[in-house]
Amino acid sequence: MGIYGMVTGKAGKSGFGSASTAEDVTQSIDANHLTAIITGGTSGIGLEAARVLGMRGAHVIIAARNTKAANESKEMILKMNPNARIDYLQLDLSSIKSVRSFVHQFLTLNLPLNILINNAGVMFCPFQLTEDGIESQFATNHIGHFLLTNLLLDKMKSSARESGIEGRIVNLSSVAHTYTYTEGIKFDSINEPDTYSEKKAYGQSKLANLLHSNALSRKLQEEGVNITVNSVHPGLVTTNLFRHSGLGMSVFKAMSFFLWKNIPQGAATTCYVALHPSLKGVTGKYLADCNITTPSKFATDKSLADELWDFSIKLIDSLPN
């Protein structure tokens, strides 16, 4: 879409642009037959996506670390739309144990799963290791979602097969995937504090989201599975993700105010990819402002995606169940 489209809000080929909201892009869509999981659905664009999918009739499961916040989000959505089907389950993406527990709890509900929106994340965190000994941004933004997706794939496959409805996986990446380490993913020193950069580590995790999407998309296509996998850049949106940013980010925001979106606009691309019929069969793509766009060279590197997949599997397998 480019800077011009971002500033003016001019619609692209999809008919939507940076000024479109989540309600705009899902207008007249009936999602009553769909069940969706949204990680991080208690604030920001995750909450807005949960609200709008609920408005369109989908049964939404909010996966959230803070169950008090999740319950408050559910009550807020129900107050606005008493007919919404909203539930929540506890999920801490930085914990392998929590991811496995969440999946177990969800599967016991015996619900179908048509849409998985991997939205939650952390940003620009000071260096720290999770309980599993993994750098927190890489663990939360990539490893947690990678494992969650893999553990839910069989349910998504059976849901698509039994219903005939295309499954959709949406990974929240970012234009920040272009600002990463020199090698793209620093496999040999993921957990090294001496080479850690808060911003590059975030960019690395967002690149990992894209690479994961592309690798999974290829695998599912090879299997002939009726599930699409796409990545989105929501745009520049002021949310709780920026709680670790400092003065530099405040100055940047002040200078680039004309590029920033409000939350309904920020959730638009997520909801568009999750629900819009024009994207039926579209997979392995990267979208911004509700239009397909081109990511970085690293993001389209198949060998890097395969290496990340193998690295992620080995890392998870090395941890206690």
- Residues forming the active site: 196
Q: Which amino acid is at 181?
A: Y
Percent helix, percent strand, percent coil in the chain, to nearest 5? 50, 15, 35
The Cα–Cα gap between 24 and 260 comes to: 18
3-state secondary structure (DSSP) of residue 34: coil
Burial code (b: 16+ CB inside 10 Å, e: under 16) for 52-66 equals bbbbbbbbbbbbbbe
Q: Report residue 199 as tokens.
A: 């911003």
Q: Report residue 45 as tokens.
A: 């664009």
3-state secondary structure (DSSP) of residue 282: coil
Residue appearing with tokens 């800077």: 3
The residue ranges of DSSP E strands in the chain, in sequence order, are 35-39, 59-64, 85-90, 115-118, 167-172, 227-233, 236-237, 260-261, 286-288, 291-293
Burial code (b: 16+ CB inside 10 Å, e: under 16) for 268-291 equals bbbbbbbbbeebeebbbbbbbbbb
Residues 6+ apart with CB under 8 A from 223: none
3-state secondary structure (DSSP) of residue 98: helix
The Cα–Cα gap between 210 and 208 comes to: 5
